[in-house]
Amino acid sequence: MAVTLADVAARARVSAATVSRVLNGNYPVAENTRARVLRAVADLEYVVNGPASALAAATSDLVGILVNDIADPFFGIIASAVQSEMSTATGQHIGNGAHPRTGDSDTRRNPGSGPALVPAGEKLAVVCNTGGSPERELMYLTLLQRQRAAAVVLTGGAVEDAGHAAAVTAALTRLAAAGTRVVLCGRPPLGPEAGAREARATAGTRTDLEARIFQRAAHKAGAALSPVTLAFDNRGGARRLTEHLISLGHQCIGYIAGPVGRTTTRHRLEGHRAALAAHDIPDPAHRTVHGAYDRAAGYDAALELLRRDPTLTAVIAANDTAALGACAALRERGLRIPGDVSVAGFDDLPFSADAAPALTTVRLPLQEAGARAGRLAMGRETPPPGEITTLRADLMVRESTSSPYS
C-alpha cells in the first residue's frame, strides 16, 4: 500500500535500520549515505508511519491540551501559547499577513516538493475541547493515554465533585505511570487533600459507592502523584478587585458568579467575600447569582440582580465576557456605566480594554502561563521547587468603575 521504510531503504541501497537512523537523527550516519537516504525519502514522498514507530519506540509525539471551552479566548490564548512554546521551529504568528518568508533558515528547508520536513522531536500539540463536561474530560484523558501521549496539559478550572476528582486523579496517575508528563495550567493543584475536602463538603449527598470509589483512587494516587502545577491567584485577584470597589465607596455590590461546582468559581467568589468581610460589609445571598462564563449569562444575571436589589451601585462578574453581557443589560435598562453602576470583570481578555467604557478587571498572565506549561510539558524547564507555582493576578483599573457618588 503506502511507501514504507523498506521501500526507502531499497531505493537508497541501504538497510532499513540506516534509514531509521537518519530520519531520527539520533545516531551517526555517513554524510553521503545520509544524502542518498534523504533523496530517496523525497523521491518516494515517504512519510513515517506514526503508529508503527510509536509502537516500536513505546512513545509518541502527541501532546494533548485539555480546555473547557475552545470558543472562549481565555483558553485559546493559553492553548496558543502552549503550542508555540512547543514547536521547535520558532514559528511566529504571522499576524500582519506578510507573504510567507521563503528565506532559508537555519533548519534545512524542504527540498523540492514532497511532504514537509518535520524536525526530529517535533511534537503534535493538539487541543481537546471538553466543553466543561467531566465525562468528556475523562474520555480525552483515556484517549490520550491510549495514544501514549508524551504530555498532557490540563487548563482552567476543575469540576468540584469528589467522584470526578478521584477519577481524574486516577487517570493522571495512570498517565504519569505510563511516562506521560502531566501539567496543570491555571488549574488548582490535585491531591488527596483537595479531593478529601470536597468529599467532606458533599458527604451528605454522596452515595456510599462514590465514597468508596474515591477512597480507592485517593489511596492509589496517594502522595505519588503531584503533577507540576501552575495556578492563578484567583482568590487574591478577586479580593483586590472587590477592595478596589469598596475603596471607591461601594457598599452594595452585586456578584455574578460562574457556574457552581467549579474551582474557579469558588475561588473568585471566596476572594470577593473575603474582601467584603474584611470591611464588615454584609453580603446577603441575594446579591450573588450564578451563571455560565458567557455573555448571555452575564446579561441575565445583571437583570436578575437589579430585580432583586435596584439600589446596587456596582456589579462584579466572574469573567470579562459575562461582565460585558452585564454592561449590555444595564445599558438597556437605561443605566450609565460607571455613572449609575460600576462594572468589573476578570481575566483581562483583549477585548476588555476596548469595550466602551474600558473594563476594570483583573489581569491573568494567560500567555505566560501557557508558555511555561508548554516548556514544562516538553521537559525543557524543570519544575519549580514544591512543584506548584501561583501566578499573579493584577488589578487593572479602567473606566468602568468609579465612585458611586459621582
390 binding partner (options DNA, a copy of itself, none; Cβ < 5 to 8 Å by kind)? none
Identify the H or E element spanning 35: helix 31-44
Contact window for DNA (CB under 7 A) among 1-9, 159-167, 361-369, 387-395 = 1-9
Q: Which is nearer to DNA, 7 or 294 (CB)?
A: 7
Contact pattern for DNA over residues 18 through 37, marking x by CB under 7 A: x-xx-xx-xxxxx--xx---
Strand ranges in 247-398 using DSSP code E only, listed in sequence order: 253-257, 288-290, 314-317, 342-344, 361-363, 388-391, 394-396
CA distance 238 to 329: 22
Q: Residue from 5, 127, 175, 362 that binds DNA (CB under 7 A)? A: 5
Q: What is the CA radius of gyration of the chain?
A: 26
Q: Which is nearer to DNA, 56 or 277 (CB)?
A: 56
Binding status of residue 301 toward DNA by CB under 7 A = no
262 binding partner (options a copy of itself, DNA, none; Cβ < 5 to 8 Å by kind)? a copy of itself
- 186, 232 Cβ separation under 8 angstroms: yes
Report in angstroms the alpha-carbon separations of 392 from 38, 185, 269, 290, 387.
48, 13, 17, 25, 16
Q: For DNA, how many residues bind (rule: CB under 7 A)? A: 30
Q: Give DSSP secondary structure letters for 131-157.
A: TT-HHHHHHHHHHHHHTT-SEEEEES-
Extract the C-alpha cell encoding 214: 474515591
Binding status of residue 95 toward DNA by CB under 7 A = no
Contact window for DNA (CB under 7 A) among 8-16, 98-106, 207-215, 224-232 = 8-16
Binding status of residue 4 toward DNA by CB under 7 A = yes
397 binding partner (options DNA, a copy of itself, none; Cβ < 5 to 8 Å by kind)? none
For the segment 35-54, give every residue that binds DNA (CB under 7 A).
48-49, 52-53
CA distance 343 to 36: 66
Question: Minimum Å distance from CB 278 to a copy of itself?
Answer: 27
Residue whose cell numbers read 471551552: 69
294 binding partner (options DNA, a copy of itself, none; Cβ < 5 to 8 Å by kind)? a copy of itself
Chain CA centroid to CA 195, Å: 20
Q: Which is nearer to DNA, 5 or 329 (CB)?
A: 5
Question: Minimum Å distance from CB 281 to a copy of itself?
Answer: 26
Backbone angles phi, psi at 337, to 5 degrees: -120, 125
Backbone angles phi, psi at 11, to 5 degrees: -65, -35
Question: Minimum Å distance from CB 361 to a copy of itself?
Answer: 15
Question: Minimum Å distance from CB 42 to DNA?
Answer: 15
For the segment 47-86, give every residue that binds DNA (CB under 7 A).
48-49, 52-53, 55-58
Question: Minimum Å distance from CB 212 to a copy of itself?
Answer: 9
Question: Minimum Å distance from CB 29 to a copy of itself?
Answer: 21
Binding status of residue 17 toward DNA by CB under 7 A = yes
Contact window for DNA (CB under 7 A) among 4-12, 187-195, 294-302, 315-323 = 4-12
CA distance 225 to 170: 9
**Any residues with CB less than 8 A from the CB of 398 and at least 6 apart, and which?**
352, 353, 357, 358, 359, 360, 361
**Any residues with CB less than 8 A from the CB of 128 and at least 6 apart, and which?**
64, 65, 66, 67, 140, 143, 144
5 binding partner (options a copy of itself, DNA, none; Cβ < 5 to 8 Å by kind)? DNA
Q: Which is nearer to DNA, 49 or 215 (CB)?
A: 49
DSSP SS3 for 183: strand
Report in angstroms the alpha-carbon separations of 114 from 7, 90, 302, 397.
16, 22, 56, 53
Question: Minimum Å distance from CB 199 to a copy of itself?
Answer: 14
Q: What is the longest distance spanned by two Cα atoms in the chain? A: 85
Q: Which is nearer to a copy of itself, 87 or 390 (CB)?
A: 87
Q: Which residues bind DNA (CB under 7 A)?
A: 1-2, 4-6, 13-18, 20-21, 23-24, 26-30, 33-34, 48-49, 52-53, 55-58
